[in-house]
Amino acid sequence: MGLLLFDVVLCALLLTLAGAAMLSRQLVHAVTLFIAFGVMMALAWARLQAPDLALAEAAIGAGLTGALCFTALARYAGDAGYPKPKLWLPLVFVAAVSALLLYSVFQIPAQPTTELSERVAEHLAVSGVSHPVTAVLLNFRAWDTLLELLVLLLALLGARQVPSQLPLHAGWSLSVSWSRLLSPMLLLLSAYLLWRGAAAPGGAFQAGALLASGLVILRLNQQLAWLSWQNFAVRTLVLAGLIAFVMAGLASLLLPGQLVWLSWPVALAGGIILLVETFATLAIALTLALLVVGEPEQEPADA
Amino acid sequence: MSILQLCSWLLLALGVVFFLAGSLGLLRFADSFSRLHAVTKADTLGLGLVVIGLSLQSHWREACLMLLIWLVVMGSGAVSCQLLARFSHEQQANPVEPADPGQED
Amino acid sequence: MWPAVLLVTLPLAAALLMLLWPRRARVLHFAVAVGLLPLAVSFLLQVTVSGEQQWFLGNWGPLLAIRWQADGLTTLLLLVSVTLHLLVSAYVGSIQRRNPLPAAFWPLSNLLLASLQALWLSRDLFNLYVCLELLGMVAVALVTLSGDKALRPALDYLLYSLFASLCYLLGVALIYAGYGVLDIPMLAGQLEANWLNAVALTLMTLGLMLKAACWPLHLWLPAAHASAPAPVSALLSALVVKGPLFILYLLWTTLAPAAFLPAAAYLLASAALGAMLFGGIAAIRTPYSKSLVAYSTVAQLGYATLALAFILRFNLPEFVAAMWLFVLSHALAKAACFLAIGELQHTLGARQVEQLKGASQTMPLAMFAFAVAGGSLIGLPPSGGFLAKWALLLGLWQSQQFFWLLALVVATLLSAAYVFRVVVLAFDRAAPTAPDFSPQRLPQYLALLPALLVWVMAVFSLPLLTLLKQEL
Amino acid sequence: MLSFYLYLATAALLLGVGSLGLWRGPELLRRILALNVIGAGIFMLMVSLAYRPVLYGEPADSVLHALVLTGLVVAVSATAFALALLGRLLARPQ
């Protein structure tokens, strides 16, 4: 009963926050409400027994997306006003579509099909890790994860095509020293999350996102002058996750008897996964950090 | 219900009251300084009470973890409060520079 | 396994190395692009000889693993992507001195190729979602290469593309809710004709149609394709919009329950009719030459959609052949069109169609390339476009769809109108637009090459048809 | 069981709310936020589906969790790219 009450309150809160973010008159309110929405989503994931997602959402939704949105928001400062948008026509249409979707989701059978989960449980022992989500991400469906890293890299490459630097505020001593205090903690926590990912919720992405927030905090306080795409070492690390992944895949093809892409031999699977995850964490952290803070200054070179 | 549990629930309730008061302040107070005042102080206290309340009902390891969380939240609350206050102070002293974003309509 | 893996990972690895060492990018690019071509050809031959192949990535067996499948169609699409990739990058290399693209073109075009290859091979609903998203983001990043003027079209393209992928993902989630399976061949024939599946398939179809710019969901395409640099537009029009079309084909020919097919056929056929008519009319009316080619893409995609609709209704091998012949011939012809128009536009300084006056005199090669490619778009014999249209007509005749025969004739007239609109102007030699500088030969030949290839397709019509007819 | 359907309904309504924001706008930034809300709705649907086995006393579906995690990364990347484009669009001298 108490849990159901919690569910009702949480769902109502989620819908209210999302609705208010969409309908609020000022954009700054919309962004603030959206960030609150992200935090609540993390709570919902935790409630629905998806701790991996709760960790990821907390790091991403509450931290980095917020920073990104506020950067964009700062640009709206001098922008001309918009005409007040229509409400009723979209509302009626969307209400009809939502009613249809509501009807559809109630058609979903409550009885799950468990064949795939059983298959995961069966093969977990030979996957190299003991946490099923990590096993799916880095072994059973590793190709998805490789492509996902590529999507992240592409976001950075795309964003680099359209640089627009906001002037950084001079760092205040208080925030500088707080950032110095905070970032080692974040580093420690992200290393812990990465290590834990093999056996429990956590893993490369959560760790990377956390590390990225540490990097962003330091960079916004005028430290880490080396954090730039022009720096060869940074570039290498940004690409490290993908390079490690591809090399591991190609190496697995060369092993005798195995002629399938991305198949880790059972004995080495744990090691390969940890290796790939470590590089992926670094890559994710640097990519996200570069996405949020951008480049100091640069002009795109010609081919 | 033991004494310990009763204390715990009382502390939790008190914590929630402080949280509510802080949020009310955030919504109702007029200028940013008083809002900061409401949010950081009341919420930190509220969180502390909730942490103590929960600690009474849990294992000591979780209690330590929650204490750590409270400390970090307190630290970041204090720092961000200072920074925000300083920012608004500078804005008031020199209001020409970047206008409040989002004032477009 | 090796050819399939290399066709995906070579461009991917090349892109990574290019990002590390940007100075070596061009050498690496051409080495890889040239190397991929024999690989793709031998893969095609291997598959035609020994039949289709499939792999479960990671060696995990069906259900758990992502499936890759290489059949005749897939290998053909792999080969076409590799060929166009090589051609377009050769074009970019040849105009290097004159108007260089930003250095980011090299890694991005390799990533585009890698994501396309991954999409052609994949047979997993969720993996296809990731591939789609990847493809969309590379495409947008490539559009932004032409600078600030492309910002708004690029952002619109990105938002539409994101919304479309989300629609597709929702459909995937609903299918997973019912069956707990993501593998397309395993789901084949399993789906019941219930409400949930209807909603799921509708959502996926709408998302894919939005991505494939099927009329009336094509609104983002003309602006995005017209504002991108010419070689990028060539890649986008020739290859990128075909990705979602391929998934649409997979969904409806293997996944969908038979009870849904008639309704879907009507939906697709009416979208196709709209595309052929309104796309053609818009191409005739637009004042800009690149928009003309972009609208022609909308119209030409209509033919492929129409063929898909009739595959669903009549299940004749002619329609399958027609659909993929349209896709192949359009890919080659449209690449030629965009490269030729890009060359004309740059040399003559002419963004508007009117300014192409006398181009047959000033830049005969580029104009010839455009006319030859246009011939295939119209469907003049013996081009690839003709083959496709012939297969479609044959199918329509056999299934006695006389209304659609008429529609096809009207659409053909419209495409003839917009092609001849350019060609007639080009032969108006009274007051030709003078070129800004003496035209370059090599890029014009490179524009001509795919146009000639599409006519050569007719020579290989028999093997092509046998390859494609096996599909059903 | 009730809470399962409650979360499913929330997911469907989030999709509606997001679509409303996407249609209405008017600012591009709000449209980007709206796309994220739609994404959140879809992820919530998937996570609720993953929760189904829990109702029968089994562990949650880890494949769906992995898929949502991949989806989250893709969504964040796309948002970051869109915001970068938007930033440039707004910063451009008019």
Task: Over range B50-66, report the average pLDDT.
Answer: 89
> Is C320 within 8 Å of C311 (Cβ atoms)?
yes
D2-25 b/e with 16+ CB inside 10 Å = b?
A: ebbebbbbbbbbbbbbbbbbbbbe
Partners of A75 on chain D (C-beta within 8 Å) are 86-87, 90-91
Distance of alpha carbon C87 from alpha carbon C63, whole angstroms? 38
3-state secondary structure A204-243: HHHHHHHHHHHHHHHHHCCCCCCCCCCCHHHHHHHHHHHH
A19: confidence class by pLDDT, cuts 50, 70, 90: very high
C449-469 b/e with 16+ CB inside 10 Å = b?
A: bbbbbbbebbeebeebbebbb
Torsion of Cα atoms, C200 then C204 then C210 then C214, to 10° = -100
Of C117, C43, C76, C36, nearest to C457 by C-alpha is C76
Residue for token digits 């961000």?
B80
> Is A162 within 8 Å of A196 (Cβ atoms)?
no
> Is A11 within 8 Å of D6 (Cβ atoms)?
yes
> Is B67 within 8 Å of B52 (Cβ atoms)?
no
Q: Read off the pLDDT of residues A166-217 as tens digits, 9 standing for 90 and up.
A: 666 667 888 888 888 888 888 999 999 888 888 888 888 899 999 998 898 8
Which residues of chain A from 116 to 145 reach within 8 Å of chain C, CB to CB? 116, 119-120, 123, 139-144
C414-442 b/e with 16+ CB inside 10 Å = b?
A: bbbebbbbbbebbeeeeebbebeeebbee
**pLDDT value at A37 more than 90:** yes
Query: Coil, strand, or helix at residue C124?
Result: strand
Write the DSSP symbol of residue A78: G
Partners of D74 on chain C (C-beta within 8 Å) are 130, 133
Distance of alpha carbon A298 from alpha carbon C470, whole angstroms? 53
Is some CB atom of chain C closer than 8 A to the CB atom of A160? Answer: yes
Cα distance from D35 to chain A (closest Cα, Å)?
A: 11
Partners of C179 on chain D (C-beta within 8 Å) are none
What Å distances lie between residue C382 and A136, C105, C385, C453, CA to CA? 51, 35, 8, 12
CB-based contacts of C45, cutoff 8 Å, min separation 6:
none
Question: Are B79 and A78 inside 8 Å of each other by CB?
Answer: no
The per-residue pLDDT for A298 is 45
The per-residue pLDDT for A79 is 58
Q: Read off the pLDDT of residues C143-158 as tens digits, 9 standing for 90 and up.
A: 999 888 889 999 999 9
DSSP string, C310-342: HHHHH--HHHHHHHHHHHHHHHHHHHHHHHHHH
H or E element in which residue C111 lies: helix C105-121
Query: Best mutation site among D29, D85, D92, D94 for testing chain C: the one with the most C CBs within 10 Å?
Result: D85
Is some CB atom of chain C closer than 8 A to the CB atom of A83? Answer: no
Q: Crossing angle, helix C461-469 and helix C384-398, to 10 degrees?
A: 50
Question: Are A303 and C178 inside 8 Å of each other by CB?
Answer: no
Pair of tokens at residue C301: 């995609």
More confident call, D68 vs C218: D68
* Torsion sign (Cα): D91, D92, D93, D94: negative
User: Do B and C share at least 3 CB pairs under 8 Å?
Assistant: no
Distance of alpha carbon D44 from alpha carbon D16, whole angstroms? 13
Residue for token digits 């064949």?
A115
Partners of C20 on chain A (C-beta within 8 Å) are 232, 235-236, 239
Chain D: partners with 3+ C-beta pairs within 8 Å: A, C
Partners of B27 on chain A (C-beta within 8 Å) are none
Distance of alpha carbon B80 from alpha carbon A210, whole angstroms? 19
Q: Which of A123, A158, A249 sits opposite C64 (nearest CB)?
A: A123
Q: Read off the pLDDT of residues D17-43 as tens digits, 9 standing for 90 and up.
A: 999 999 887 888 999 999 999 999 999
Q: Which of B83, B101, B104 sits opposite A174 (nearest CB)?
A: B83
Please report, for chain D, how many H helices and E strands are present, in that order.
Answer: 3, 0
The per-residue pLDDT for A296 is 63
Q: List residues bridging with C183 in a β-sheet.
A: C124
Q: How far is C-alpha A70 from the geometric centre of its chain's CA atoms?
A: 17
The per-residue pLDDT for B101 is 42
Q: Which of D60, D68, D80 sits opposite A49 (nearest CB)?
A: D60
C470: confidence class by pLDDT, cuts 50, 70, 90: low
**pLDDT value at A143 more than 60:** yes
> Is D63 within 8 Å of A136 (Cβ atoms)?
yes
Question: Are D31 and C151 inside 8 Å of each other by CB?
Answer: no
The per-residue pLDDT for B105 is 31
Cα distance from C9 to chain A (closest Cα, Å)?
A: 8
Query: Best mutation site among C66, C120, C124 for testing chain A: the one with the most A CBs within 10 Å?
Result: C66
In a domain, C321, yes or no: yes
Of C203, C238, C226, nearest to C88 by C-alpha is C238
Is some CB atom of chain A closer than 8 A to the CB atom of D38? Answer: no
Which residues of chain A from 8 to 27 reach within 8 Å of chain B, CB to CB? 25-27
pTM for this prediction: 0.93
Cα distance from A273 to chain C (closest Cα, Å)?
A: 13
Q: Read off the pLDDT of residues C76-119 as tens digits, 9 standing for 90 and up.
A: 999 999 999 999 999 998 888 888 888 889 999 999 999 999 99
Instruction: Tally the domains of chain C.
Output: 1
Pair of tokens at residue B68: 């750590």
Cα distance from A233 to chain C (closest Cα, Å)?
A: 9
Pair of tokens at residue C139: 């495409």
Q: Read off the pLDDT of residues C287-339 as tens digits, 9 standing for 90 and up.
A: 888 899 999 999 999 999 999 999 988 888 888 888 999 999 999 999 999 99
Is some CB atom of chain D closer than 8 A to the CB atom of A291? Answer: yes
The per-residue pLDDT for B97 is 47
CB-based contacts of C413, cutoff 8 Å, min separation 6:
none
Instruction: Tally the domains of chain D.
Output: 1
For chain C, state the CA radius of gyration: 21
Of C272, C222, C280, nearest to C245 by C-alpha is C272
Question: Are A73 and B102 inside 8 Å of each other by CB?
Answer: yes
In a domain, C250, yes or no: no
Q: Which of A10-14, A194-198, C207-211, C434-438 has the lowest mean pLDDT?
A: C434-438
Is some CB atom of chain D closer than 8 A to the CB atom of C181? Answer: no
Q: Read off the pLDDT of residues A116-133 as tens digits, 9 standing for 90 and up.
A: 888 888 888 888 888 899
Question: Are D26 and A37 inside 8 Å of each other by CB?
Answer: no
Is some CB atom of chain D closer than 8 A to the CB atom of A18? Answer: yes
Q: Which of B25-34, B49-58, C200-209, C251-260 has the lowest mean pLDDT?
A: B25-34
> Is C167 within 8 Å of C204 (Cβ atoms)?
yes
Q: Which amino acid is at C3?
A: P
> Is C439 within 8 Å of C347 (Cβ atoms)?
yes
Partners of B98 on chain A (C-beta within 8 Å) are 74, 77
In a domain, C385, yes or no: yes
Average pLDDT, chain A: 86
B1: confidence class by pLDDT, cuts 50, 70, 90: low
**pLDDT value at A303 more than 70:** no
Half-sphere exposure of B31 (CA within 13 A, CB side): 6
**pLDDT value at C467 more than 90:** no
Count of C-beta atoms within a 10 Å radius of residue B58: 12
**pLDDT value at D66 more than 50:** yes
ipTM of the complex: 0.92
φ, ψ of residue D4 to 5 degrees: the values are -55, -50
Residue C399, domain extent:
257-472
What Å distances lie between residue C447 and C36, C229, C441, CA to CA? 21, 15, 10
> Is C153 within 8 Å of C223 (Cβ atoms)?
yes
Is some CB atom of chain D closer than 8 A to the CB atom of C281? Answer: no
Distance of alpha carbon D29 from alpha carbon C234, whole angstroms? 30
Q: Which of D35, D64, D67 sits opposite C163 (nearest CB)?
A: D35
Distance of alpha carbon C27 from alpha carbon D33, whole angstroms? 42
Is some CB atom of chain B closer than 8 A to the CB atom of A86? Answer: no
Count of C-beta atoms within a 10 Å radius of residue D43: 27
Q: Which of C129, C154, C176 sits opposite D85 (nearest CB)?
A: C154
Q: Which of A212-226, C284-298, C350-364, D4-18 has the lowest mean pLDDT?
A: C350-364
The per-residue pLDDT for A246 is 92
Q: Which of A108-112, C100-104, C351-355, D81-85 has the lowest mean pLDDT?
A: C351-355
Is some CB atom of chain D closer than 8 A to the CB atom of C284? Answer: no
Distance of alpha carbon D93 from alpha carbon D90, whole angstroms? 8
Residue D52, domain extent:
2-91
**pLDDT value at C125 more than 90:** yes
The per-residue pLDDT for A78 is 57
Q: Read off the pLDDT of residues A227-247 as tens digits, 9 standing for 90 and up.
A: 888 888 999 999 999 999 999
Distance of alpha carbon C163 from alpha carbon D21, whole angstroms? 12
N- to C-terminal Cα separation, chain D: 55
What Å distances lie between residue A303 and B70, C29, C104, C105, C110, CA to CA? 53, 12, 7, 8, 15
Is some CB atom of chain D closer than 8 A to the CB atom of C410? Answer: no
Q: Which of C66, C68, C137 sits opposite A155 (nearest CB)?
A: C137
Residue for token digits 């493809």?
C135
Query: Best mutation site among A100, A111, A123, A157 for testing chain C: the one with the most C CBs within 10 Å?
Result: A157
> Is B18 within 8 Å of B49 (Cβ atoms)?
yes
The per-residue pLDDT for C135 is 94
More confident call, D40 vs A78: D40
Task: Over range C348-363, report the average pLDDT.
Answer: 80
